Amino acid sequence: MSSKWSPIPGGITVARGFKASGISAGLKSSGKPDLALLVAPKGAVCAGTFTQSLARAACVDLCIERLKVTAGRTRAVLINSGQANACTGDRGLIDSLRATQALADQLGLMPDEMLICSTGVIGVPIPIHNLLASLEHLIDSLNEGGGSDAAKAILTTDLVDKQFAFEANLGGRCVHIGGMAKGSGMIHPNMSTMLGYLTCDVGLPVDAWQSMVTRVVENSFNAVSVDGDSSTNDSLVAFAAGETLAAEYWDDLEEGLMALAQHLAKAIARDGEGANCLLEVVVKGTASAAEAQRIARTIVSSALVKTAVHGCDPNWGRILAAAGRAGVKFMPEDVCLWIGPIQLMEAGKPLRFDAHAASRYIKERMNGAYLNDDCVSICLVIGHGIWEGSAWGCDLSDQYVRINADYTT
C-alpha cells in the first residue's frame, strides 16, 4: 500500500458524518448484540455488490432494487444477525419491507433510502416484532463512535469482530475510510463478502464510486474462501459522502479502499470456522490478473490443500493438482513452487527439499506461534507473463466439521 495511507483506530464511523449503533434486540437466544444500523450523511452515494446465488434472500433483491430506484442515493442500512431470512417464502420480503418502512418513519426518510441485510441460519425468519420494538432504542443509540458496537452486532459464528480504518492526505485534506465485515463459515463469495460495509468521507459521482467498489471487491472479498460455500445473503455496501474529491486523486482513493477491503477479507479467512492459520496463495506469471486470481482461488479453496496445511504436511502435489483444474492453460515445464521460503519445484521438476523444515514452517504459524505471524504462504509461478494474483483462506480442521455438524441442533 502507498505510504499515503496510514492505519488508524476505528471502523465505519471514522469517516466524517457517519453514525452507527449496535444493540441486543432479542433476535438471538444468547442475548448477544444482534441488530446494527449505519446512517450516512445527507448527499451520500451508495454502491453495492451482492450474491449471485439464485437461492438468495429477499433482502438482497430489495437492496438491489432500491439502489437502482434511488440511483445510489441511499442513506441507511439496517443489519440483523441470527436469522438469514432466506428461503422463508413471502414472509422474507414482507418482514424486510416492514422493517425498512418503520426505520424510515422514525428517521424521517423515504423507505427507498433504507437498505436491509440479514445474516444467520437459512430458512429462519426474523423475530420481526422484537426487531420493530427495538428500532427506537437502536436509533437513540446512534453516535459517531458507534462503529465498534455495530461491528459486534453483525456477528454470527465469528470469534472476533472485524473492523479497520485508514487515513491519507489527498488534495490538501485528510480523507478517512473505514470498514467492518462479518464472516466465518459459508465463505466463498461470488460477488463480495458475507456482509461488509465501507465508508468514505469524500464525494464522488455514483457511477465512478460503483465502478471503484466493484474493482476493489474483485481483488479482495472475491479472493477469499474458507469452505467453498457461497451464502444466500452475501452483500457489500459502500457509502461515500463529503466534499467532492478531484478525479486526479481517485486512483489514490481506490488504492486505500483496496487495502482496507483486503484487510477485512484476510480477517474473515483468519477467523474461519475451526481455523488455525491464515493461508495466502500468490500466483505469478499469467497472461492476466484474472487468470492468476482464478488459479490462486482454486488452490486456496481445495479441501485437500487445506487439510494438508492443517496437518503441517508439505504435500505439494495437491497444490499442483488444484492449479491444473482451475481452467487456465499453462505449461507444466514452466512451474516453480514455494511453501514459505522453501522451494519445492523448479522448471516443472521436483527439487530435493527438507520436508521437516517445510512442515516446521507451517506448524510455527499455526495460531500465530511464530513471531505473531499466522500466515502460511504458498507461491506458484506458472509462466512468463507479467501478471499475478492472490487469494486467502485457512486450514480445514476437524473443528470445522463439529461446528457445522451441530449448527442448528
Active-site residues, by number, are: 193
241, 18 in Cβ contact below 8 A?
Answer: yes
Q: Kindly state the helix (H) or strand (E) to which residue 65 belongs, with its residue range.
A: helix 58-69
Residue 371, C-beta contacts closer than 8 angstroms, at least 6 positions apart: none
Separation between Cα atoms, residue 244 and residue 225, nearest integer Å: 36
CA nearest to 283, candidates 374, 376, 391, 375? 391
Residue 69, C-beta contacts closer than 8 angstroms, at least 6 positions apart: 112
Q: Burial of 109 by CB count in 10 Å (0-12 exposed, 13-18 middle, 19+ buried)?
A: middle
257, 177 in Cβ contact below 8 A?
Answer: yes
Dihedral sign, Cα of residue 26, residue 269, residue 197, residue 235? negative
Residue 233, C-beta contacts closer than 8 angstroms, at least 6 positions apart: 51, 56, 57, 59, 60, 84, 86, 117, 118, 119, 194, 195
Compute φ and ψ for 45, nearest 5 degrees: -115, 150
Q: Kindly state the helix (H) or strand (E) to which residue 363 belongs, with its residue range.
A: helix 355-365
Cell of 311: 496437518
**Number of neighbouring beta carbons within 10 Å of residue 388:** 18
